[in-house]
């Protein structure tokens, strides 16, 4: 036996040090299968040894407070792993068929763990026959079920053999889980550099359902044709399909992120939020006047995150976003302030004229839109129907892109868009037929 163990160690060392690149694909797959089977067999060997250690009360002799604590110290593993090994070792000891299957490498460690948990969930006063039957039934499924499916199968067996175990326990378990989930709730927005902010959080199922219900209708493909960043792999295609109202190239993750922002924008625009320190809640952006004029430098959000000059100019374009402008010629801004707000009768007239985002192919209604100044108010542009057009967030971004689409008011007083030359060399103006009255 001692010789065999020595040999085992040297074979294992050889396998661990082996180069993978000379292997053919077939040899590589064989390698994975064999090593895995060996791992599982060695796991069985370890469980047998652990059971023997426990049987001989070696942990107590070593003054350990429990077998799991001893195992943790001996192997430098976590207490959870130690407990799992002990539970597996005990079950193998009581079900010889299971022991044989694990020893032969037919049941892997994770599957075994699912079986141990399923058997552990059975009521303690269950007939031994029934318990063994449950164990061997689960065993027979290990050839085609993964650990998670086995766990579910175990639940079904439990409901079958102990139906009254049962509703009350299940209800209590659910309520405990709900309480824990609610207590663990949190949401953080942490800047991680390069203009990215990581959103992390936990919600309980009910709260998550509320958020999902709010963003779901906005997550549908095609609810906002995307404008790809210049140079991205799909840039050309995305712009082209964006205006056709065709395929939405955003990933599901991108659509959910957009939807969350859209919900927030809609709430800010609707004036439904409670006052924040006496002010109507709104997005505040701080920048110097030079940034707005010269398209250089940048600004900061009221949470202190830096934003580019292009973003500042877009955000400053509509009155719903309040630019706090420092330095330079601030009197001009103050004087011009009342002129640049697209509110009241002007906004109503604009809504009536455009009825929604004016970008070709976009179906966003007026309530979602910013009033875009065609000639920026910082460049002396006026705030009247000849110089403003409704644009949703996505398309507002697109027209503020220096290499992007140009917008102008056509001869009949409606906005029209000139595609960039890389999309249409002729740059034929296009319109959005979507909101037209018929």
Please calculate the CA angle 405-411-412 and round it to the nearest 5 degrees: 105
Q: Cα separation of 185 and 13, whole Å?
A: 47
Question: In this structure, are residues 340 and 372 in contact, taking their beta carbons and an 8 Å threshold?
Answer: no
Q: At what angle do helices 205-219 and 166-183 cross, to 10 degrees?
A: 70
Q: Give me the least distance between CB of 245 and Zn ion, in Å please.
A: 10
Q: Give me the least distance between CB of 392 and Zn ion, in Å please.
A: 3
- List of residues contacting Zn ion (CB under 5 A): 317, 357, 359, 362, 364, 372, 392, 395
Q: Which is nearer to Zn ion, 59 or 376 (CB)?
A: 376
Q: Which is nearer to Zn ion, 340 or 364 (CB)?
A: 364
For residue 2, CA distances in Å to 50, 94, 329 come to 18, 27, 88
Which parts of 185-321 fold into alpha helices (H)?
Answer: 205-219, 235-244, 252-270, 289-294, 309-315
Q: Give me the least distance between CB of 264 and Zn ion, in Å please.
A: 17
Q: Which residues pair with 283 in a beta bridge?
A: 321
Question: In this structure, are residues 257 and 198 in contact, taking their beta carbons and an 8 Å threshold?
Answer: no
Q: Give me the least distance between CB of 373 and Zn ion, in Å please.
A: 6
Q: Give me the least distance between CB of 398 and Zn ion, in Å please.
A: 8
Contacts by 153-162, CB closer than 8 A, 24 or more apart: 153/118, 154/114, 154/115, 154/117, 154/118, 154/119, 154/121, 155/118, 155/121, 157/118, 157/122, 158/118, 158/121, 158/122, 161/122, 161/126, 161/130, 161/134, 162/122, 162/123, 162/126
Question: Smallest Cα–Cα separation from 423: which of 245, 226, 242?
Answer: 242
Q: How many CB atoms lie within 10 A of CB 242?
A: 25
Q: Which is nearer to Zn ion, 134 or 362 (CB)?
A: 362
Structure tokens at 44: 């069985």
Q: Which is nearer to Zn ion, 307 or 362 (CB)?
A: 362
Token look-up 């326990």 returns 169
Q: Give me the least distance between CB of 189 and Zn ion, in Å please.
A: 25
Q: Which is nearer to Zn ion, 70 or 417 (CB)?
A: 417
Q: Cα separation of 311 and 423, whole Å?
A: 23
Q: Which is nearer to Zn ion, 115 or 362 (CB)?
A: 362
Q: Which is nearer to Zn ion, 43 or 347 (CB)?
A: 347
Q: Which is nearer to Zn ion, 347 or 364 (CB)?
A: 364
Q: Give me the least distance between CB of 404 and Zn ion, in Å please.
A: 12
Q: Cα separation of 312 and 298, whole Å?
A: 7
Question: Smallest Cα–Cα separation from 365: which of 283, 275, 269, 241?
Answer: 269
Q: Which is nearer to Zn ion, 84 or 364 (CB)?
A: 364
Q: Give me the least distance between CB of 355 and Zn ion, in Å please.
A: 12
Q: Give me the least distance between CB of 317 and Zn ion, in Å please.
A: 3
Q: Cα separation of 106 and 36, whole Å?
A: 10
Q: Give me the least distance between CB of 365 and Zn ion, in Å please.
A: 10
Q: At what angle do helices 67-75 and 79-94 cross, to 10 degrees?
A: 120
Q: Give me the least distance between CB of 396 and Zn ion, in Å please.
A: 5
Q: Which is nearer to Zn ion, 92 or 317 (CB)?
A: 317
Cα Dmax for the chain:
96
Q: Which is nearer to Zn ion, 64 or 385 (CB)?
A: 385
Neighbour-count burial of 344, counting CB atoms closer than 10 A to its CB (0-12 exposed, 13-18 middle, 19+ buried): exposed
């Amino acid at each position: 036996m001692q010789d065999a163990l020595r040999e085992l160690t040297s074979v294992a060392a050889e396998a661990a040090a082996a180069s993978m690149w000379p292997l053919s694909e077939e040899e590589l797959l064989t390698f994975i299968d064999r090593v895995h089977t060996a791992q599982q067999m060695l796991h069985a060997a370890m469980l047998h040894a652990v059971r023997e250690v426990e049987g001989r009360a070696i942990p107590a002799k070593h003054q350990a407070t429990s077998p799991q604590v001893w195992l943790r110290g001996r192997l430098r593993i976590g207490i959870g792993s130690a407990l799992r090994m002990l539970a597996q070792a005990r079950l193998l000891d009581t079900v010889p068929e299971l022991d044989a299957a694990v020893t032969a490498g037919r049941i892997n460690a994770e599957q075994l763990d699912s079986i141990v948990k399923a058997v552990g969930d059975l009521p303690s006063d269950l007939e031994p026959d029934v318990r063994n039957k449950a164990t061997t039934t689960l065993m027979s499924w290990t050839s085609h079920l993964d650990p998670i499916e086995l766990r579910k199968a175990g639940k079904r067996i439990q409901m079958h053999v102990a139906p009254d175990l049962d509703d009350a326990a299940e209800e209590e378990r659910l309520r405990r889980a709900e309480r824990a989930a609610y207590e663990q709730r949190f949401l953080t927005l942490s800047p991680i550099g390069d203009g990215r902010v990581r959103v992390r959080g936990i919600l309980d199922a009910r709260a998550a359902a509320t958020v999902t219900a709010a963003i779901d209708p906005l997550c549908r493909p095609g609810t906002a044709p995307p404008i790809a960043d210049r140079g991205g792999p799909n840039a050309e295609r995305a712009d082209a399909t964006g205006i056709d109202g065709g395929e939405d190239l955003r990933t599901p993750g991108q659509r959910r992120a957009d939807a969350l922002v859209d919900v927030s924008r809609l709430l800010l625009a609707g004036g439904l939020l409670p006052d924040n320190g006496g002010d109507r809640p709104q997005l505040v952006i701080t920048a110097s006047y030079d940034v707005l004029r010269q398209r250089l430098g940048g600004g900061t959000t009221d949470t202190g995150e830096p934003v580019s000059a292009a973003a500042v100019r877009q955000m400053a374009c509509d009155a719903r976003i309040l630019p706090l402008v420092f330095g330079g010629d601030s009197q001009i801004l103050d004087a011009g302030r009342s002129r640049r707000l697209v509110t009241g009768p002007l906004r109503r007239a604009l809504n009536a004229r455009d009825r929604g985002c004016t970008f070709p192919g976009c179906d966003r209604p007026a309530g979602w839109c910013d009033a875009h100044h065609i000639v920026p108010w910082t460049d002396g542009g006026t705030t009247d129907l000849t110089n403003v057009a409704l644009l949703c967030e996505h398309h507002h971004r697109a027209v503020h892109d220096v290499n992007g689409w140009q917008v102008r008011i056509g001869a009949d007083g409606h906005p029209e868009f000139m595609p960039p030359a890389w999309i249409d060399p002729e740059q034929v103006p296009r319109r959005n037929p979507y909101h037209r009255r018929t």
